Chain A
Amino acid sequence: MEIKVIDEGKPYVIGIVGRLDTNTSPQLEEFAKGLYAKGVNEIVVDMSECVFVSSAGLRVIVAMQKQAAVSGSLVFRGVVSDVMEVFQMTGFDNILTFE
């Protein structure tokens, strides 16, 4: 899995490439923590190249969403249909913000 920075402005745009599962989600967790430490809390996540999200991935997403609920914003864009199905299955389609 690879996290690429698409835009360092406001909001901060990152892209997730590959699978977000139990083995790769810690990578995202670390990355997000790094952003929050830098004071970046307005984040857009480009999901167009993210082909798979498991429950481990969702946990990381939850954590980020909780952070955004406190301050900042979190938007997911370009979510592929398989992943969207997973969000719908878990009710996350109502919790997360999409564009």
Chain B
Amino acid sequence: MSPETESARKKARIIRWRGVMGDSRRVLRLMVFVVLAVTGVALTFTQLGFVDVPLEDGSDGYVVTLLQVVALGALLLGTFAGMVLGLLTGAVLLLHAQLLPLDHYELSFITPITSVVMFGFVGLLLGVLLAVALRKNPSQIRRVIYIFIVCLVASFLYSLGFYFNVGISVVIHIVDTLGLEANDPAVLKIANSTATQLGSIETQVWGTALVMTLLCSVGDCLARKVVMHRGILGLRTVFGAWLSVVVALSFMVMAAVSFGVSSADALHDAEDDMRNEVNYLCTQMKLGGKRVELLQETLSQAGVETSDIDEATLTGLSDLLADDVVLSGFTPNSDDIVIIEFDGRVYASNDERFTVGMDMSQTFFGDSSSAIERSKENQQIERFIFVDPARKLDAENRSLTAPDAPEVHPHIAYVYAQHSYDFAIDTEEASDEGVISADVVMIRSSDQVFAKRPEVMTWMTASSLVLLLAVFVIVFQLLNRVVAKRIDDENAALSLITSGNLDARAEAGGTREFESLTEGINDTVDTLRGWIAEAESRMDAELATARAIQESALPSTFPPYPDIPKFDIFASMNAAKQVGGDFYDFFLIGEDCDDSQGKLGFVIADVSGKGVPAALFMMRAKALLRDYLASGMEIGEAVSEANRLLIEGNDEGMFVTAWVGVLDYGTGHVDYVNAGHNPPLLWQREGGWQWLRRKSGPVLGLFEISYRALEVDCLAGDTFLLYTDGVTEAFDVDEQLYGEDRLMAVAENGYRMHPRELLESVRSDVAKHANGAEQSDDITIMTLEVGVPPEVTATLEVPAEVSQLTAVNEFLHSELDRRLCPQRVQNQLDIAVEELFVNVCHYAYPEATPDEPGAVRIQRTYCADPPSITVDIIDEGIPYNPLEKPDAVTPGNIKDVPIGGLGILMAKRCTDEMLYERVNGSNVVTIVKKW
């Protein structure tokens, strides 16, 4: 960028500076402008625009408050606005000077140049200087300093300009009216004295500058706060701002009105007062007789040559005079200036500035008639004309030395003027009306007329300020209580609700609108809650259905292959609240499986995720694995193929961990594939429980790879314990995981148990650990015992000797313990078995000898579903049915107790079923005990 363009841009930026509020909304800027403009007008018309500060040396200082408005405008709204406000304020000032001039200065000195042009210029200047000072956004302290400097400069320039202008005007005026030369020392003297009496320039400069700085700094601070506030304003702020504006404008209106009223009042009072005095004076003068001598004497005392005035004139005059001192008894206001004029000359006055004989037409301000005209137009002169018919003088008899002197038109008038220096006389008008009397001019300065006004205004200003402030505070508080707080309460309730607490209630009330709003909110929330509950229950119903479908897909009949005694398998899946993705599966592989040889495929798996998508993926995975494996394909290949198909169409990136095994139950050989699944536990004769940690590959469904088959050889009794991470990752209330160690511990505890009991033992241990914490994942467990038939039938043959009871008990207990049969139940079985076995020992073989006691066969059959044990006691002795004996009656007392028979009663009572059969020469007593 070239330096010229750069500097041009800089200049443009300065000129176009939009003030501290530059970035605010248009409405706000407009509002500020309007308020400032109104303030300027109000200040002008209530004459607070020029604050008169009386100084010790008798002169006056001014603080130009109008400049504050312009300065604020330039600061807040920018260069252009400052200039416009300046022009506006200046125009209003000009208007005021024409209509209601404060004093003769204002009347004479407020020209378009000193008002419009000067104020406009100052506004522009302020804008430019502030733009330069503040555009780089300096720190707070610097801002105040810069503002002070700018205000000082502006104030100084303005004051200087004003005084300069005043000086020039004075000179022009003197030259015009007195006909003196511009370089006459008298002119300078007069100009100086005017300037001195105008007031101290220093006071004006410093006073204005300080007030300007204060206002501008405060305004700057507030404006920056407003501008920097991004986002929406609060109710209280907006209301407070508008209320402030209303209150401020009200204040100005009240000030203006009371100013006007008190002015009119004062004027009226002054009029009445002066009228009364003049009346009195005229009366006095009517009563006066010819006092030529007195007149002559007076005039000669004054050094006026009475030869200038002819006798007739003097006579006429003296007719009008009172007997004694002309002015005796006349009590004008102490400051009132009273001049009795006769034909353009001072006859008598109470003010030394108007010496007797002074030519009234030769006034300092000359051109009295035009002054009068202007004053009349401005309604600054009140003319009161006293008509005394008895005093009509013959016009022809009155003539002065001048040949074309006008006729004598003595009249009485009073003039109210802005300042003690100002006066006006008209000697011509009275002639038109033909009234004659002595001229009495009563001048009461506006200072005197409006002497009380400042006091009134001060009281009024102070009290209305206090009142309006009180109103502001009260109204604001009312808004706060009645509206804002209640809205805040409603908002608080709403934010509780939206943050998830649907039980929160809105509670604000007190007025109809708020009651209605509160009710509305609560009803809405209730309605929504109802819908949510409905939707949830619908979703719950759907999920329940999905879960039912999922669970029904898992084989749940146990034992699944009761005819194949080569393995025992048990599995369970407890779903978490959400529909999950765990599954297990088992199936025979191939067509030629029989009860001694064949292949069993068994799978446990966990799909990532929860909910319906996981359930669907789970179904696919289960079906694929089963199909490929059941077809007889090699396990590694089967899993790889299933994986490939799972990858297809798996856009969500779901995956499944799986442990797949194929047990050749003829040989005990197990091939398996672990695809990213938890390592199962395997109990083997040699080594006990070991983790089977080898993995074949990663999870299924993501990567197309080929899975490696692993293998292990099992002996009868070897047991697999497979599970999903719902087991190891079950939390308790303290977020402790169940973990592998606990699983190992419970497995070691239950290694003698059958698969179903082992699984139950694991499940109850996990539940105990969780201790009430919510289940977060499906818990799936599968146990497989190789080489152990699912329903164990075993036989023990013992000699028919009572001492063998111990062995019989042991034989039964070992199975029952493995089956987690409760002790109480075992006790009851023992009672029955003891009774029956002892019976056999005592009665079945009557021809038994110690060497040949006879044999008893005990056969136990465990049935898993429902759990029960069937014990057959078989002997080949004489036919004997222990059930034939009638039931012993429960003894009422000890005498009735039969020694025999009690045992059978007890046996019957301790078992669920007791049967006798004579089969092929054998007694078979069968008892069934369930638990």
Chain A residues within 8 Å of B, Cβ to Cβ: 21-23, 51-52, 54-56, 58-59, 62, 65-66, 69, 81-82, 85-86, 89-92, 94-95
Contacts and interface: CB of A to CB of B under 8 A. Distances in A.
B830 A23 contact: no
B254 interface: no
B894 A52 contact: no
B835 A51 contact: no
A56 B831 CA distance: 9
Contacts of A95: 891, 893-894, 897
B805 A22 contact: yes
Interface residues of B, number: 28
Contacts of A81: 824
Contacts of A62: 894, 897, 899
A5 to B, nearest CB: 25
B906 to A, nearest CB: 5
B830 A54 contact: yes
A91 B892 CA distance: 7
B802 interface: yes
Contacts of A82: 823-824, 827-828
A58 to B, nearest CB: 6
Contacts of B823: 82
Contacts of B899: 59, 62
B825 to A, nearest CB: 9
B909 A89 contact: yes
B902 interface: yes
B183 interface: no
Nearest to B891: A91
A9 B538 CA distance: 75
A91 B890 contact: yes
A92 B892 CA distance: 9
B849 interface: no
A90 B890 contact: yes
Given A82-B827, A85-B824, A89-B909, A22 B838 contact: yes
B897 A23 contact: no
B891 A55 contact: no
B906 A86 contact: yes
B803 A58 contact: no
Interface in B797-843: 802-803, 805-806, 823-824, 827-828, 830-831, 834-835, 838
Q: Which of A59, A86, A91 has the most CB of B within 10 A?
A: A91
Given A22-B802, A23-B802, A58 B902 contact: yes
Given A21-B834, A65-B894, A59 B803 contact: no
A96 to B, nearest CB: 9
A63 B802 CA distance: 21
Contacts of A51: 827
A54 B894 contact: no
Nearest to B907: A55
A86 B894 contact: no
B824 A23 contact: no
A18 B105 CA distance: 133
Contacts of A85: 824, 828
B894 A56 contact: no
Contacts of B907: 55
B803 A23 contact: yes
Contact of A52 (B830, B897, B903): B830
A62 to B, nearest CB: 5
Given A22-B834, A89-B909, A95-B894, 13 more contacts: A22-B802, A23-B806, A54-B831, A54-B835, A55-B903, A58-B902, A59-B902, A65-B894, A66-B895, A82-B828, A90-B906, A91-B890, A91-B891
B15 interface: no
A28 to B, nearest CB: 16
B905 interface: yes
A44 to B, nearest CB: 18
Smallest CB-CB A-B distances: 3 pairs: A55-B903, A91-B890, A89-B909
13 contacts: A21-B805, A22-B838, A52-B831, A54-B903, A55-B831, A55-B902, A55-B903, A55-B907, A69-B895, A82-B828, A90-B902, A91-B891, A95-B894
Contact of A89 (B834, B835, B894, B910): B910
Contacts of B893: 95
A91 B895 CA distance: 13
A55 B894 contact: no
A81 B805 CA distance: 24
A65 B895 CA distance: 10
Contacts of A69: 894-895
B565 to A, nearest CB: 33
A24 to B, nearest CB: 10
Given A51-B827, A82-B827, A56 B902 contact: no
A25 to B, nearest CB: 11
A91 B827 CA distance: 18
Q: Which of A58, A69, A90, A92 has the most CB of B within 10 A?
A: A90
Nearest to A65: B894
A95 B897 CA distance: 10
Interface in B109-155: none
A52 B824 CA distance: 9
A69 B909 CA distance: 27
Nearest to B822: A82
Contacts of B910: 86, 89
Nearest to A22: B838
A92 B897 CA distance: 10
A92 to B, nearest CB: 8
A66 B830 contact: no
A91 B898 CA distance: 13
Interface in B454-479: none
Nearest to A62: B897
Interface string B275-287: 0000000000000
Q: Which of B891, B892, B897, B905 has the most CB of A within 10 A?
A: B897
B903 to A, nearest CB: 3
A88 to B, nearest CB: 10
A18 B445 CA distance: 135
A13 to B, nearest CB: 22
Contacts of B805: 21-23
A85 B830 CA distance: 14
A54 B890 contact: no
A23 B834 CA distance: 10
Nearest to A83: B827
Contact of A56 (B824, B834, B891): B834
Contacts of A92: 891
Q: Which of B890, B894, B903 has the most CB of A within 10 A?
A: B894
A65 B830 CA distance: 24
Nearest to B837: A22
B835 A55 contact: yes
B148 to A, nearest CB: 100
Q: Which of B806, B823, B827 has the most CB of A within 10 A?
A: B827
Contacts of B830: 21, 52, 54
Interface in B500-541: none
A57 to B, nearest CB: 10
A66 B899 CA distance: 12
Contacts of B835: 54-55
Contacts of B903: 54-56
Contact of B834 (A54, A59, A66, A90): A54
A51 to B, nearest CB: 7
A55 B827 contact: no
A21 B803 CA distance: 11
A10 B902 CA distance: 32
A53 to B, nearest CB: 8
B237 to A, nearest CB: 78
Nearest to A19: B830
Nearest to A51: B827
B868 to A, nearest CB: 19
A56 B895 CA distance: 18
B816 to A, nearest CB: 14
Nearest to B893: A95
A54 to B, nearest CB: 5
Nearest to A96: B894
A7 to B, nearest CB: 25
